[in-house]
Amino acid sequence: MKQKAILLVEDNPSDVALTQRALVKSRIANEMIVVEDGQEALDYLFAGGQYAGRDVSDLPSVVLLDLKLPRVSGLDVLRQIRADERTSRIPVVILTTSQEEHDIAQSYELHANSYIRKPVDFTKFVEAIQHMGMYWLVLNEPPPPK
């Protein structure tokens, strides 16, 4: 069985590269799809825009979602994922720099599965990604398809 993809929603290319590097270092082999803003994320998930024709039922195993994004914000993306019954069960991990209480509270209000703050220290960052990958891709039992 083909391993499901990870959807990374992140506009900072440096962060994208670091995340990929962290994943590699953590020996996580799942394909990683990168989209650079909220709208693109929604297009990918609901097969709109440049992703028209994509099989919507082919959901990523986990969505790594930054909050501060161009166009549609991370919280809005999360709200729409949860509002649509096709995507409402996808594990969504908020991966962001913000430590604002407001952001954390809002994310959980919208049923985010985790909230991870990206540390400045890369060693710690790799650790975090490693833990995250381990947890969501290995330990966690994914939601059954609809």
Partner 1 sequence: MNNKNISQRQATIAVLGFQWAALMILWVSQIFAQQSDATLTLGAGIAALIYGAMLFAYLRGWEYARHVSVILITLIVAVFLPEPFVTTYAPFLILLGPVLALVLLNPFWVIGSAVGTIGIMLFRAGGAGVYANPMTLINFAMLIVGLVVSRIIAESARTQADQARATQAELAGIVAASEERFRQLWEATVEGIAIHDQGIFLEINPALSLMFGYLPHEVIGKSMFEFIGSEASEIVRQKMKDGVTEPYEVPTYKADGTKLIVELIAKTIVYQGKTVRMVAIRDVTDRKQAEQALGESEERFRKTFRSVPVGLSITRASDGAYIDANDAFSEITGYSLAELTGQTSLQLNITTPQQRQEYTHQISQKGFIRNQEMSLRNKAGAYTIVLGSMEVIELNHETCVLSTAIDITQRKRTEDALRENEKQLKQTQAIAGLGNYFLDLTTGSWMGSEIFDHLLGIDETFARTMETWPTLIHPNDRQATADYFANEVVGKGARFDREYRIIRPNDQAERWVHTLGELEFNSANQPVKMVGTVQDITESKLVKTQLEYQARLLSKINDAVLAADDQYNITVWNQGAELLYGWSAAEALGHKTTEIIRSELTSAEREEILRQLHENGEYHIQLTQYHKNGRPVYVEASTVSIKNDSGRISGILSVNRDISERKRAEEEIRNLNASLEQRVQERTLALLKSEEQYRTLFDSIDEGFCIIELIFDEFEKSLDYRFLKINPAFEKQTGLANAEGRTMRSFAPNHEEYWFEIYGRIALTGEPARFENRAEQLHRWFDVYAFRSGEPEQRQVAILFNDITARREAETEVQRLNKDLQHHASQLESANKELEAFSYSVSHDLRAPLRGIDGWSQALVEDYGNVLDEQAQTYIKRVRSETQRMGTLIDDLLQLSRIARSDLYKKKVDLSAIVEVVVNRLKETKSAERQVEFVVQKGLSAMGDPKLLEVVFTNLLDNAFKFTGKKPKAHIEFGQTVVEGSPAYFVRDNGAGFDMNYANKLFGAFQRMHKVSEFPGSGVGLATVQRVIHRHGGEIWAASEVSQGTTFYFTLEEKSQ
Asked if 18 interacts with partner 1 (CB under 8 A), we say yes
Query: Site for partner 1 (CB under 8 A): how many residues?
Result: 19
Q: Is 105 in the site for partner 1 (CB under 8 A)?
A: no
Q: Per CB under 8 A, does 99 bind partner 1?
A: yes
Establish if 15 lies at the interface with partner 1 (CB under 8 A).
Answer: yes
DSSP string, 52-87: TT--TT---SEEEE-SS-SSS-HHHHHHHHHHSTTT
Contact flag: residue 139 with partner 1 (CB under 8 A):
no
CA–CA dist 130, 107 (Å, integer) = 22
Contact (Cβ atoms closer than 8 angstroms) between residue 116 and residue 110: no
Which residues in this chain contact partner 1 in the complex, by CB under 8 A? 12, 14-15, 18, 21, 68, 96-101, 118-123, 125
